[in-house]
Amino acid sequence: MLCSALLCRAIFMYFYAQMKHFSLIVLISWLSVQQSANGQACTTLGQNPSTAFPVCGTSTFVQNTVPICGVNNLVVPGCTGSGTANYQDKNPFWYRFTCYRTGTLGFVITPNDLGDDYDWQLYDITGRNPNDVYTVPSLVVTGNWAGTYGATGASASGVNFIQCASDPAANENSFAQMPTIIEGRQYLLLVSHFTNSQSGYTLSFGGGTASITDPTDPKLGTATANCEGNSIHVTLNKKMKCRSLTGTGTEFSLSPGLATVISATGTGCNSSFDLDALTLTLSNPLPPGNYQLIIRNGSDGNTLQDNCDRTIPQGDAIPLTILPIQPTPMDSLTKIGCAPQTLELVFSRPIRCNSIDPSGRDFSITGTYPVTISGARGECVNGVSSKIFIDLATPLYRAGNFQLRLLRGPDGSTIIDECGQETPAGASLPFSTKDTVNADFGYTISLGCQRDTVQYIHNGANGVNSWLWTFDFIRTSNQQNPQIFYGVFGDHLTELIVSNGVCSDTSSQMIFLPNTLKAGFEATQLVCPNDLARFRDTSIGNIVNWSWDFGNGQFSNQQQPPAQVYGSSPNNYQVPVTLTVTNDIGCTSSATVMINVLNNCYIAVPSAFTPNGDGLNDFLYPLNAYKARDLSFSVFNRLGERVFYTNDWTRKWDGRHKGRDADMGTYVWILTYTNTDTNKRIEQKGSTVLIRQ
């Protein structure tokens, strides 16, 4: 049974307020039955990634209504995967743009009804199929899926993570920090309308440092006529709005005016918002000759507009040549690259694809060494191609000079252009190839104490005339055999790119300089009377000699030297211990550590102290607790109240409690610790007298 619209909305909004987007299994499944009446495939232009609206950063996009349609599951990094939330492009619109200056992107989505909830997600789709947004999580740049009503977008005050689905009452931040977008990359912005209203929104860009406005002024590109001369194919220098082209082509005229334009069709306008090519139909065929195609304001009051509403200037004109019907020559080969396995032929007039022999027997190649053609194919659109690709059985790795010749194929003809004209047999084009190159390199190392010298060597074979060395991503050189000095030893990464003008290669090696030398050792830091000081070598390098000076008149050449004794003294004192190491090429390094020799390590608490600030017996604390671990020291007054506590024996009681001088008299103390020599737990109790003079 279907619920009333009011009841359905009340039930839906209740659960929405509790848990936006969360799978409520039974109840949401029941509500989905109600929604299925509206659930349908998104067919409106702009409601799927492949037909996204082209966006310009200079204007505000106004979407007055949001058609309700079916949803696709989405990955939201940091939010999906827990099994608790289901994210979808519900009632979506998609927007595409290119970044023309690297920087931060700011934008605001403002609902017409501020009680609506809009979510969004930004994708980098450079070089990808737009529909990959549904399956490739790495395309996500940032987004915001908070349940908060009202405006959302990217701003300087937004959160630096993707806000997951949330209870609207939580009032989560519906803005993300402005993401950084990169010049030359293409992006898709999804705006998802969670609430099923159709009140619409505005989308405006601003506040960031990036530019998504194409700086190129719109212009006409090229014009070519068909064989009959009654249709003109026009290219533009950039994408322009389909709706700015009139169906009767009133924007265009010819000079001389031997024909008029009677219709215009934008390429791809049935499935997108913009075009970069169009076809004009003429009132009659044009005779051979030279013409100009001129643009002017059409019946809609403008020429053609780009996506930023800039128009092609009136009077902009491009040449149009109508040639007499004659065979199309073998015009040219595109530049031959390194180790080519395909040759690309370019023609001034499209060639019929059915005249190209797939086995490649319309062509032959002769030259420095034998070359076998394995096939030929076109880049076919509507049965014709302006290019023919000739596939070779193997890449041409070696240098050579060759001739590509046109033959009559198995069908008795060569190739035939779109006008039915056959290119004469015997036509040929020369081309040459270069040897492939190898960037592998050698080196020799000369070790030194302060710096090492590395001589790099490349043989320059196969015509290499360009070298680019990179050392540790810091230094570079264009020499064939550079010499580099290193003052830091250890691993060093070297990369070399070589080229002979056509072929290039890259090689890298990690070079280890083995003469790192650094003296170091661990030592007993506190030496109590009758205790031994011990030392452990931690030096680094190819060490062959150790020289210890213990500061007590004793020396050693052992790597791990014997323990040392230091004489007693009435006061604590410091002794410098020095280790000097020598490596296998005679370099030295030294390290010095100061050790503290103590006059007393007997732990005791004074029986009295006088906190009068005269510098004598002003504090109460456990004396000489050098060998105490996990220490605890507490002092109590005669009422049993603890007036002082510490677990740091160097922190002392100054005779004050709660900000006031404590009373004179007897105080009880408790001291517990673990003796570091015996590892035994010790507990001592006693009393001390606080005396004020």
Residues 538 and 396 occupy one common structural domain: no
Q: What is the rounded average pLDDT of the residues 290-313?
A: 96
pLDDT of the residue at 8: 37
pLDDT digits (tens, 9 = 90+) for 122-148: 999 999 999 999 999 999 999 999 999
Residue 59: per-residue pLDDT = 79
Nearest 5°: phi and psi at 11? -65, -45
348 and 424 co-located in one domain: yes
* CATH classification at residue 559: 2.60.40.10
65 falls within a domain: yes
Cβ distance 577 to 548 under 8 Å?
yes
Predicted pLDDT of residue 348: 87
Q: pLDDT category, 196, cuts 50, 70, 90?
A: confident
Q: Which pLDDT value is given to residue 84?
A: 47
Please state the rounded mean pLDDT for residues 105-132. 95
Pull the structure tokens for residue 640: 């049993």
Q: What is the pLDDT of residue 39?
A: 54
251 within some domain: yes
What 3-state class would DSSP assign to 668? strand
Helix (H, G, I), strand (E, B) or coil at 230: coil
Q: Give yes or no for a cis peptide into 256 (omega within 30° of 0).
A: yes
Q: Which of 590, 572, 565 is nearest to 580 (CA)?
A: 590
Six-digit token string for 667 = 């105080």
Mind listing the pLDDT tens digit for each residue in 425-437?
999 999 999 999 9
Q: Give the end of a domain, one of 290, 322, 354.
A: 322
Least confident of 14-28, 425-439, 631-645: 14-28
**What average pLDDT does this structure show over 348-363?**
95
* Edge-to-edge strand list for the sheet holding 231-241: 220-225, 231-241, 274-282, 261-266
Instruction: Looking at the structure, tell me whether residues 9 and 153 fall in a common domain.
Output: yes
Residues 180 and 290 in one domain: no
Using the Cα atoms of residue 359, residue 364, residue 365 and residue 371 in order, give the sign of their dihedral. Answer: positive
**Per-residue pLDDT tens digits for 32-64:** 333 333 457 888 899 999 999 999 988 788 998
Do 485 and 453 form a contact (C-beta atoms < 8 A)? yes
Mean pLDDT of 170-197: 92
DSSP helix/strand/coil, 368: coil
Domain that holds residue 576: 521-597
Listed in sequence order, the residues at least 6 apart from 531 whose beta carbon sits closer than 8 Å to its beta carbon are 524, 601
Q: How far apart are CA 436 and CA 459, in angstroms?
A: 14
Q: Is a pLDDT exceeding 70 seen at residue 22?
A: no
Could you say which of 433, 463, 484 is where a domain stops? 433
CATH number at residue 419: 2.60.40.1220
**Residue 496 placed within a domain:** yes
- CATH no. for residue 37? 2.60.120.380
Q: Which tokens hold the place of 77? A: 């990094």
| CA 569 to centroid of chain Cα atoms | 65
CATH number at residue 626: 2.60.40
**Weakest-pLDDT range from 39-43, 87-91, 428-432, 496-500:** 39-43
327 in a structural domain: no
Q: Does 651 fall in a domain? A: yes
Question: Hey, how many other C-beta atoms are within 10 angstroms of the C-beta on 490?
Answer: 12
For the residues 185-199, what does the mean pLDDT come to?
Answer: 90
Mean pLDDT of 88-105: 94
> How buried is residue 317: exposed, middle or buried, by Cβ count under 10 Å (0-12/13-18/19+)?
middle
> Any idea which of 53-67, 75-89, 394-408, 549-563 has the lowest mean pLDDT?
75-89
Average of per-residue pLDDT across 169-186? 93
In this structure, what are the phi and psi dihedrals at residue 353, rounded to the nearest 5 degrees? Answer: -65, -30
E strand or H helix at 333, and its extent? Answer: strand 332-333
Share of the chain above pLDDT 90, in %: 83
Q: What's the rounded mean pLDDT across residues 293-312?
A: 96
pLDDT of residue 4: 34
Q: Are residues 43 and 172 in the same domain?
A: yes
Same-domain check for residues 453 and 536: no
Q: Of 205, 229, 256, which closes a domain? A: 205
pLDDT at 28: 29
Identity at 19, one-letter amino acid code: M
Q: 248 and 313: one domain?
A: yes
Taking residues 547-567, what's their average pLDDT?
A: 96
pLDDT for 58: 83
pLDDT tens-digit profile of 211-265?
Answer: 999 999 999 999 999 988 999 999 999 999 999 999 999 999 999 999 999 999 9
The pLDDT score that the predictor gives to residue 81 is 62
CA distances from 510 to 1, 452, 497 (A): 73, 15, 15
d(CA 382, CA 642): 97
Is 389 a residue whose pLDDT tops 80?
Answer: yes
Q: How many domains does the chain have?
A: 6
* Residue 498 within any structural domain of the chain: yes
Average pLDDT value for residue range 369-385: 96
Do residues 130 and 193 both lie within one domain? yes
State the average pLDDT over residues 560-574: 93
> For all residues of the chain together, what is the average pLDDT?
91
Is-contact 499 466, C-beta < 8 A?
yes
Residue 215 domain-assigned (yes or no): no
Please check whether residues 568 and 616 belong to one and the same domain: no
Asked, for residue 358, whether it belongs to a domain, the answer is yes
In this structure, the answer to whether residues 26 and 145 fall within a common structural domain is yes
Same domain, 172 and 198: yes
User: Cβ neighbours of residue 114 under 8 Å, at least 6 residues apart?
Assistant: 149, 150, 151
Q: Is 378 found in the same domain as 275?
A: no
